[in-house]
Structure 1
Amino acid sequence: MKGVLLVNLGSPDSPTPKDVKPYLDEFLMDERVIDVPKWLRILLVRGIILQTRPKRSAEAYSKIWWEEGSPLIVISERFTTKVRSKTALPVALGMRYGSMSIKKALQELKGKGVDEVLLVPLYPHYAMSSYETVVVKTMEVQKASFPEIRITTLPAFYKNDKYIKVLSEAIASGLKDIDYDHILFSYHGIPERHIRKSDPTSFHCKIDGSCCQTNSVAHHSCYRHQCYDTTERVKAFLNLPDDKVSSSFQSRLAGDPWLKPYTDYEFERLAKEGKKNLAVITPAFVSDCLETLEEIAMEGKEQFQEAGGAEYKHIPCLNDSDPWVELMVEWIEDWNKKEVLPV
């Protein structure tokens, strides 16, 4: 019997340092997130970061926490409920980090008689710290606890034409009530070394401004290329002028080169160049979360306006919108009936 496993990032159980600390420990101790030797990761995470970060992160979570719980969890659950209502296949929701584990989700599917699973990492782009770690963790859990279950993985869908249509139309709807001077596509940042580590050729990805435009097998696992490609595809679909669109990367750790340009620097640059009305979209996420609701919708607005900007709008992620639900159901049904996955 077939079933579907949706996997998103995860969240602390509450916006308190007590619950944020173990969540951050699991997240930051992931070797695909902080990819240094384990002894150094332990020193950095448990010896330094977790001494102060849980309190700051808990304060940030408190700003965006909903009455029902973590926005990421609530939105993912709403999305899952809608998908379930439109397919006869069992659908379970798991999180890469936190108490809603992948193991619990697979156990739920097994309890319903499922022995063949479509794994859906809820990330449009391939990155070792997001898509890849979900796949690797799921396979580890499957091997250790569910060897009878066969798993097929949905590919990164950043360039799928139907996905681009759904994303573009959602962006167009969000642009209706702002007379924008500029649209900023802000993607989650990753260390530059992750790009090179994910390059199967070991030589193509130079992050030099040209390699992302030069065709290569490396693009199948190059997060940077895929982000810029998403921007270009949406720009073409909506016929947006080149001079009103740009891409940037948010979130980074100090002392380490991450993908540039940095989003917070772009807020200041755009404002100082005379851009008064800014729209921001965060296409690395399908569900609004701490990085979109606090870092972009709140902090980003403050940074842009302090630098001289005026109107600022964060356009929500796809969340549990009906077109996004319907597209996911279409992919599920294609796999169920024809073993076909989106490209």
Structure 2
Amino acid sequence: MKGVLLVNLGSPDSTDPKDVKKYLDEFLMDPRVIDVPRWARILLVRGIILNTRPKQSAKAYAKIWWEEGSPLIVLSERLQKKVQSKLNIPVGLAMRYGSMTLKKGIQELVDQGCTEIKTIPLYPQFAMATTETIDVKVDEIIAEHFPHVKITRTAAFSKREDYIKVLSESIGERLENLDYEHLLFSYHGVPERHIRKSDVTNGNCKMDGKCCFKKGSEQHEFCYRHQCEMTTVNVAKFLGLKNGTYSTTFQSRLGFDPWLQPYTDRTIERMGKAGVKKMVVVTPAFVSDCLETLEEIAMEGEEIFHEVGGKEFSVIPCLNDRDDFAQVLANMVEEWRIVDVETAIA
């Protein structure tokens, strides 16, 4: 029997600094998140970051925590239920980090009789620190615990027409009721070296802001920056946005290495100083509202904007558990099932 496993990032179990520290340790010790030798990662994460950041992050989580728990977890569970309602095969949910482990998610599907599982990382754009780390971890778990289970991976879906339509409509619905001067597309940042490491062409990526827009490069299938840039382009085209009224930036950088630019916080500050009074921000790298959208953008971003003279700052919610987004995910599953049937017939 076939089954589906939706996979999101994860969350601490609570806003207690101890739970946050445990979560951050697992997350930041992932070699595809902080891609340095293990000894250096241990020194950086356990010797420096975990001695200060858990208390700061715990305070940030406390600002956005819901009565039901972590917004990301709650919204992911709601999405799972909606996708399940559209399919007649089991749909599970797991997190890459935290207590809702991938092993538990796979086990729950196996217990329902599933021997073929399609994993769907809930990241529209491919990145080494998101989609790839999920795929690698799933392979490890399958090899060790479920060798009889067949896994089918899901490619990044940011270029799907149905996804772009849903994302665009979710943005357009909000913009209809907003008076704004600039729409900022803010994507989660990654170190520039991650882009180069994912370059299957071994050197085609120039990080010059131009190769992302060249047609036909096989690198684009695994280039996070290209996929972010094209998400913005495709949404802008769908909505008919005028040049100069929107732009792409990257948020949430960590450490001192160069990350993808321009940076969101500095762009918000620069535009506010330049006289922009009304700004709207959308975060298309996230399908579920979470710490990065609810606190970093909606709270910290607004504070920066107001400090430099900005007046109106609005954040468009993520797709979360929208019915039409759940249908996009269900479409992916149905396409998988159709291909398998056609292959079997052939």
TM bucket (normalised to shorter chain) is over 0.9
The CA deviation at 1:232 is 0.2
1:296 matched to 2:297? The reply is yes
Q: Which position in structure 1 is the counterpart of 2:319?
A: 318
Q: Which position in structure 2 is the counterpart of 1:287?
A: 288
Counterpart residue identity of residue 289, structure 1: C
Counterpart residue identity of residue 279, structure 2: L
* CA–CA distance in structure 1, aligned partners of residues 290 and 250 of structure 2: 16
* CA–CA distance in structure 1, aligned partners of residues 253 and 332 of structure 2: 33
Q: Which position in structure 2 is the counterpart of 1:115?
A: 115
Counterpart residue identity of residue 197, structure 2: K
Q: Partner of 1:187: helix, strand, or coil?
A: strand
Q: Partner of 1:119: helix, strand, or coil?
A: strand
* CA–CA distance in structure 1, aligned partners of residues 52 and 139 of structure 2: 33
* CA–CA distance in structure 2, aligned partners of residues 259 and 30 of structure 1: 20
* CA–CA distance in structure 1, aligned partners of residues 196 and 41 of structure 2: 20
Q: Which position in structure 2 is the counterpart of 1:80?
A: 80
Unaligned runs of 5+ in 2: 342-346
The CA deviation at 1:339 is 3.6
Q: Which position in structure 2 is the counterpart of 1:256?
A: 257
Q: Which position in structure 2 is the counterpart of 1:276?
A: 277
The CA deviation at 1:317 is 0.3
The CA deviation at 1:132 is 0.6
The CA deviation at 1:206 is 1.4
Q: Which position in structure 2 is the counterpart of 1:229?
A: 230
* CA–CA distance in structure 2, aligned partners of residues 196 and 255 of structure 1: 17
Change (3 A) 1:162 1:339: farther
Q: Partner of 2:69: helix, strand, or coil?
A: coil
Counterpart residue identity of residue 251, structure 1: S
Counterpart residue identity of residue 263, structure 1: T
Query: Do the aligned partners of 1:195 and 1:224 also contact (CA within 8 Å) in 2?
Result: yes
**How far does the alpha carbon of each residue in 1:76-109 deviate from its partner, in whole angstroms, 9 at most, with x for none?**
0000011111211001100000000000000000
Q: Which position in structure 1 is the counterpart of 2:17?
A: 17
Q: Partner of 1:328: helix, strand, or coil?
A: helix
The CA deviation at 1:334 is 2.0
Correspondences of 1:118-133 after superposition (within 5 Å)? 118-133=118-133
* CA–CA distance in structure 2, aligned partners of residues 21 and 304 of structure 1: 30
Instruction: Please identify, of 316-325 and 249-258, the stretch whose mean Cα deviation from structure 2 is larger.
Output: 249-258
Percentage identity across paired residues of the two chains: 61
Q: Partner of 2:47: helix, strand, or coil?
A: helix
Counterpart residue identity of residue 234, structure 2: R
TM-score by length of 1: 0.98
Query: Do the aligned partners of 1:120 and 1:153 also contact (CA within 8 Å) in 2?
Result: yes
Q: Which position in structure 1 is the counterpart of 2:135?
A: 135
Q: Partner of 1:78: helix, strand, or coil?
A: helix
Unaligned runs of 5+ in 1: none
**How far does the alpha carbon of each residue in 1:145-181 deviate from its partner, in whole angstroms, 9 at most, with x for none?**
1110001111100111110000000000111221110
Counterpart residue identity of residue 218, structure 2: V
* CA–CA distance in structure 2, aligned partners of residues 20 and 289 of structure 1: 14
* CA–CA distance in structure 1, aligned partners of residues 182 and 100 of structure 2: 38
The CA deviation at 1:61 is 0.3
1:46 matched to 2:52? The reply is no
**How far does the alpha carbon of each residue in 1:246-296 deviate from its partner, in whole angstroms, 9 at most, with x for none?**
000001123110000000000011112221110100000000000000000
1:218 matched to 2:219? The reply is yes
Q: Which position in structure 2 is the counterpart of 1:4?
A: 4
Instruction: Please identify, of 176-185 and 62-71, the stretch whose mean Cα deviation from structure 2 is larger.
Output: 176-185
Query: Do the aligned partners of 1:72 and 1:289 also contact (CA within 8 Å) in 2?
Result: yes
The CA deviation at 1:139 is 1.0
Q: Which position in structure 1 is the counterpart of 2:178?
A: 178
Q: Which position in structure 2 is the counterpart of 1:152?
A: 152
Counterpart residue identity of residue 184, structure 1: L
The CA deviation at 1:337 is 3.0
Q: Partner of 1:107: helix, strand, or coil?
A: helix
* CA–CA distance in structure 2, aligned partners of residues 336 and 201 of structure 1: 32
* CA–CA distance in structure 1, aligned partners of residues 59 and 8 of structure 2: 22
Query: Do the aligned partners of 1:267 and 1:307 also contact (CA within 8 Å) in 2?
Result: no
Backbone CA RMSD of aligned residues: 0.9
Q: Partner of 1:243: helix, strand, or coil?
A: coil
The CA deviation at 1:338 is 3.1
* CA–CA distance in structure 2, aligned partners of residues 273 and 240 of structure 1: 21
Query: Do the aligned partners of 1:178 and 1:277 also contact (CA within 8 Å) in 2?
Result: no
Counterpart residue identity of residue 7, structure 2: V
* CA–CA distance in structure 2, aligned partners of residues 254 and 328 of structure 1: 35
The CA deviation at 1:190 is 0.3
Instruction: Please identify, of 179-188 and 214-223, the stretch whose mean Cα deviation from structure 2 is larger.
Output: 214-223
Instruction: Please identify, of 179-188 and 302-311, the stretch whose mean Cα deviation from structure 2 is larger.
Output: 302-311
Q: Which position in structure 2 is the counterpart of 1:305?
A: 306
* CA–CA distance in structure 2, aligned partners of residues 188 and 6 of structure 1: 20
* CA–CA distance in structure 2, aligned partners of residues 44 and 330 of structure 1: 42
Q: Which position in structure 1 is the counterpart of 2:331?
A: 330
Counterpart residue identity of residue 287, structure 2: V
* CA–CA distance in structure 1, aligned partners of residues 255 and 304 of structure 2: 19
Aligned length: 340
Counterpart residue identity of residue 269, structure 2: E
Q: Which position in structure 2 is the counterpart of 1:238?
A: 239
